[in-house]
Amino acid sequence: MKQSKRVKRMERHHRRARKTSKLNLVSLMDIFTILVFFLLVNSSDVEVLQNDKSIKLPESVAEKKPEQTLVVVVNKENILVGGREVANLNTIKETEEGIVGLKKELDYLAERSPYKDAEQASLGRDVNIMADKDTPYKLLKKVMKTCAKADYRNISLAVSQVVADESDLDAAVQLGSGG
């Protein structure tokens, strides 16, 4: 049967409308590639220790990054272990064992993760202490003593890393070489 021009035109129009658009995967792959490279490059600069806004860490030119260990935070009001308050600085009870609340919490955490071998037991457990730069040394000494009594003997103090000037490095080299 012969079709009219109008019917032919309508069929052509419907055939064009039925065609589905194709997804352009090239541009999508480019975006994901850029995203992967961005994440790989920036993943090495991640700060290991949690950041506490109430603490202003002392500055240092230390190059060694901290390891992921137990963190004891000493701020102006209290002592926190793993984000949980264990002692208030205004009402600290200290015995010859050290700060009571801190010692209890450290003993509990040590009980939950026993040593893997005798070598690890001889070295002691690892702990990072984050304290404000204005924290009195006497308090810091009490905290370190309590950590050591609880068998957390590998103690690290958290600092903010600053870039050393070349003139400072030259002066340090001259001082180190005796010149």
pLDDT score for 98:
75
Does the pLDDT value for residue 168 go beyond 60? no
User: For residues 75 and 51, which has the higher predicted lDDT (pLDDT)?
Assistant: 75
Q: Where in the sequence is the domain holding 147, given as residue range(s)?
A: 59-161
pLDDT tens-digit series, residues 132-141:
878 888 888 8
pLDDT score for 177:
41
The verdict on residue 2 lying in a domain is no
> Which amino acid is residue 97, in one-letter code?
E
CATH number at residue 127: 3.30.420
The verdict on residue 18 lying in a domain is no
pLDDT score for 84:
84
Does the pLDDT value for residue 105 go beyond 80? yes
Reduced to 3 states (helix: H, G, I; strand: E, B; else coil), residue 51 is coil
In contact, 86 and 72? CB cutoff 8 Å? no
pLDDT score for 78:
86
The verdict on residue 27 lying in a domain is no
The verdict on residue 122 lying in a domain is yes
Tell me how many domains the chain contains. 1
pLDDT score for 176:
43
The verdict on residue 123 lying in a domain is yes
Nearest Cα to Cα of residue 161 among 53, 64, 54: 64
In contact, 114 and 121? CB cutoff 8 Å? no
CA atoms within 13 A on the CB side of 72: 29
* pTM of structure: 0.57
pLDDT tens-digit series, residues 19-35:
666 777 778 888 889 99
Q: Is 161 left (phi over 0), alpha (psi -120 to 50) or beta?
A: beta
Does the pLDDT value for residue 73 go beyond 80? yes
pLDDT score for 174:
45
The verdict on residue 112 lying in a domain is yes
pLDDT score for 132:
81
Q: Flag the least confident range among 24-38, 54-68, 161-175.
A: 161-175
User: For residues 166 and 151, which has the higher predicted lDDT (pLDDT)?
Assistant: 151
> Which amino acid is residue 82, in one-letter code?
G
pLDDT score for 25:
77
Does the pLDDT value for residue 125 go beyond 60? yes
Residue 129 β-bridge partners: 72, 157
Task: Give the helix/strand (H/E) hosting 102.
Answer: helix 100-112
The verdict on residue 174 lying in a domain is no
Does the pLDDT value for residue 114 go beyond 70? yes
In contact, 127 and 45? CB cutoff 8 Å? no
